[in-house]
Amino acid sequence: MNNKKQKEFYKQWWFWGAILIAGFAVYFILNINQFTSQKFESNREIHLYTREIGSGTRSAFTSVTHLTDENEDDILSPKATVQNSTSATMQAVESDPHGISYISLGSLNSSVKAVSVDGVEPTIENIQTGDYELIRNFNVTYGQELSEVAEDFWHFMFSAQAQKLVVKDGYVPVDSHAPEYEPSELSGSISIVGSTSVEPTIQRFSEAYRKFNPNVTIDITAPGSGAGITSAIDGSADIGMSSREPDDDEDAQLIETAPIAVDGIVVIVNNNNPLENLEIQEIQGIYLEYLDTWNEILEN
């Protein structure tokens, strides 16, 4: 390589190298919050996340943690940021090192950290023994007479095949001696509406059921437990899904409500949070906001 070509080579090398370095610098500046946002600081304020009013998860959480008044209305801090689904709740806590919320045990994954409650880990085994007390039923319900195909699917949900899926999904079955389902070879359509927590299990049920009955169409939507119960009552859906119990007024308008599984409610924090355990009284303090910062809990 002659001197002229060599100089031209180095000139281009330095030019493109400078552009590359400048690009990295700009990227770092634009994303500096992302690089630093996951640092946990115990003196920071606790960021509360909760589900929307009408959510079965919220209703069950406030009930089992005694965050309700004499009228059984929840008394969570109005400052809590509302999330409208399980996945949105998990994403919020995953991205916020100072966040806390609650989700279904069956939805738990490595993106967030589960904490023990009163010294008991949230596991299926601890739910079965009764040691873990933050639990609720996954219910299905209907308020109008079921069609032949909807009634057949109703029976399938309580079969041995369906209850095995409950276990695979990380929940506790309601009947370990359920009868085997006998295929009916029916056709038709079924509409199911309700809880975002119950929906993944019902989807699994639907897939398994349609292997037996491929001519059946099952439409499943998950706007929440309240909508599921309402849809079951007014007949806009064949079956409603709910992760809370119907209130007295709702129950009077429903024909049947039954659990398909028992679920644990898990208190979650960011993976960078060193917290391992909360007492029920501390959960109450957090969601009533008389415990404001993480060091008030971690230093106890």
111, 94 contact by CB (below 8 A): yes
State whether residue 284 is helix, strand or coil. helix
What is residue 36's predicted lDDT score, i.e. its pLDDT? 45
The DSSP letter of residue 293 is: B
What are the structural domain ranges in the chain? 47-135+265-298, 137-262
Nearest to 112 by CA among 87, 137, 132: 87
Q: List the chain pLDDT tens, one digit each, 300 residues.
A: 555 555 565 556 565 556 666 555 554 444 444 444 579 999 999 999 999 988 889 989 999 999 998 887 899 999 999 999 999 999 999 999 999 999 999 899 999 999 999 999 999 999 999 999 999 999 999 999 999 999 999 999 999 999 999 999 889 999 989 999 999 889 999 999 999 889 999 999 999 999 999 999 999 999 999 999 999 999 999 999 999 999 999 999 999 999 999 999 999 999 999 999 999 999 999 999 989 999 999 987
- Between helices 199-212 and 160-168, what is the axis angle to 10°? 140
Main-chain dihedrals φ then ψ at residue 188, nearest 5 degrees: 140, -170
CA distance 240 to 23: 53
Q: Which helix (H) or strand (E) holds 199?
A: helix 199-212
Q: How far is CA 34 from CA 38, 83, 90, 92, in A?
A: 7, 21, 18, 14
Report the CATH number of the 137-262 domain: 3.40.190
Same fold across 47-135+265-298 and 137-262:
yes
Q: CB neighbours (10 Å) of residue 212?
A: 16
CA distance 23 to 17: 10
CATH architecture of 47-135+265-298: 3-Layer(aba) Sandwich (3.40)
67, 231 contact by CB (below 8 A): no
CA distance 120 to 279: 10
DSSP string, 72-134: S-B---TTSEEESSHHHHHHHHHT-TTEEEEEEGGG--TTSEE-EETTB---HHHHHHT----
